[in-house]
Structures are given as C-alpha cells and as structure tokens.
C-alpha cells in the first residue's frame, strides 16, 4: 500500500480510531517529525492531546542495524530483537563508540527540548496513549517509548502506523494492547518509499510547533 502523504495516511488511521476513542481520554504521542504529520489527523479527529516523544536511534557501526535508542529522559533501551549474547558481543566490541553515541544522542535531544521539554508526565497519566509512527521498520523506537511510559500510569497503549515490517508487528503484539497498522511488509524498503510526498518539517520546526500547541493548552 502506498500513500499520497503522511497527512493522507493519518486521515485513514483516524477513521479507524474515531468510533472507539472519540469520547475517551486520549493522548496522541508521535515518535518522529513525520509521525507528527500522521498524528495531527488523529488528534484532530479525537479532539485529544498531541505531543512528541524525542527518541534518537544508535546504529551498529558499519551495519544497517539499530543497536538501541535513547529517549528524552536519557534512558537507553537495547533493541529487543537482540539476544543477550548479541547485546554482550556488541557492547564489548563497540563499548567506547556506543557510549559516545549515547552522549551525543542525549545532548541532541536536550538541545531540541530547550526549557521544560515536550512531555509532562501528568499530561499522559490515566490516558489511553496512542503511539504514532509514520513507518516502523524495527521495534527499537517502540522499545524506548514503552520504557519511557513505564513509570506513568496509563489506561491503555495503542500503537498506530500506516506501514510496518513483520518484525516490528511481531514485537508489538507483546508491547501494545491494540494495533492499527494499515499495511505490513515482509521486505520493508524504508519509510519514505511508501509516500509520494515526503515533505517533512525540520526537527526544530516540529518541536517549536508542539511547544506552541502546549502553550495554547495552558
């Protein structure tokens, strides 16, 4: 399945969610700049909170493989598809490199967050959380998001995405209470491949937009 744009895909997902969640206490949490474009449509349909969780992935050197992700609270989460033996092997071989990438990722997140941050835990507490991605090729970003949400008492975790890999969906059956994925790919070719229009605001523009939305709530 291909989509005209992330906005178009978001409208399709919103149509699936609106009957069940229109009158529920929900918070839409986007996992990337592109996901905010998807999530805006869902939040508008549900009249809900929209915010973004900043997550930076860390790759294994020389391989198209995500070792794990750092979230905005500074916590590092390993790729859940790795065995403990693989985690130990990569950690031993690339310890210095990985530690430096973790520091860089957290510094980048802090620069983008500025003062106050995007997510206040009270904003999410006792809400149904709708985690939104514009394309899930692996479970690592979701691993970090779920870890971030652990200390927060939430009602339900719903994960939505226009397109996802089989690997990501398999992991989601364990992580989430409910899934809404429009298309599942055996061979995931990269998120941008599935959209005709790949215009996405910069990270800074997206963060500024979300912060403005939060100010308007206050």
Categorise residue 114: left if φ over 0, alpha if ψ from -120 to 50, beta otherwise: left
How long is the chain?
218
Position 194 scores a pLDDT of 96
DSSP 35-58: HHHHHHHHHHHHT-EEEE--EEEE
Where in the chain does DSSP place strands (E)? 26-30, 49-52, 55-59, 66-71, 76-78, 128-132, 156-165, 178-185
CATH match for 6-55+115-217 among 3.40.50.720, 3.30.1050.10, 3.40.50.2020, 3.30.565.10: 3.40.50.2020
Q: Where are the domains of the chain?
A: 6-55+115-217
Three-state secondary-structure class, residue 153? coil
Position 80 scores a pLDDT of 76
- The Cα–Cα gap between 86 and 77 comes to 14
Position 30 scores a pLDDT of 92
Position 134 scores a pLDDT of 96
- pTM of the full structure: 0.80
User: In a structure prediction context, what are the per-residue pLDDT tens digits for the chain, which is 218 residues long?
Assistant: 899 999 999 999 999 999 999 989 999 999 888 999 999 999 989 988 888 887 777 888 877 777 888 877 777 887 777 888 888 888 888 888 888 888 887 777 776 665 445 566 788 899 999 999 999 988 778 888 888 888 899 999 999 999 999 988 998 888 899 999 999 999 999 899 999 999 998 877 887 777 666 555 54
């Amino acid at each position: 399945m291909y989509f005209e744009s992330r906005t178009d895909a978001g409208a399709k997902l919103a149509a699936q969610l609106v009957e069940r969640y229109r009158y529920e206490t929900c918070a839409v949490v986007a996992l990337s700049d592109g996901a905010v474009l998807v999530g805006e449509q869902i939040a508008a349909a549900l009249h809900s909170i929209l915010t973004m969780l900043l997550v930076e992935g860390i790759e294994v050197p020389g391989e198209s493989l995500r070792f794990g992700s750092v979230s905005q609270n500074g916590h590092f989460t390993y790729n859940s598809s790795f065995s403990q033996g693989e985690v130990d092997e990569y950690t031993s071989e690339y310890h210095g490199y990985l530690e430096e990438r973790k520091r860089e990722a957290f510094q980048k997140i802090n620069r983008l967050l500025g003062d106050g941050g995007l997510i206040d835990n009270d904003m999410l507490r006792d809400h149904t959380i709708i985690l939104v991605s514009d394309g899930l090729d692996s479970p690592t970003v979701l691993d970090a998001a779920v870890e971030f949400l652990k200390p927060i008492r939430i009602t339900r975790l719903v994960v939505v995405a226009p397109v996802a890999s089989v690997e990501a969906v398999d992991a989601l059956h364990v992580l989430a209470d409910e899934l809404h994925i429009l298309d599942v790919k055996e061979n995931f070719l990269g998120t941008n491949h599935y959209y005709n229009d790949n215009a996405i605001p910069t990270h800074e523009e997206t963060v500024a937009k979300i912060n403005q939305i939060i100010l308007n709530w206050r």
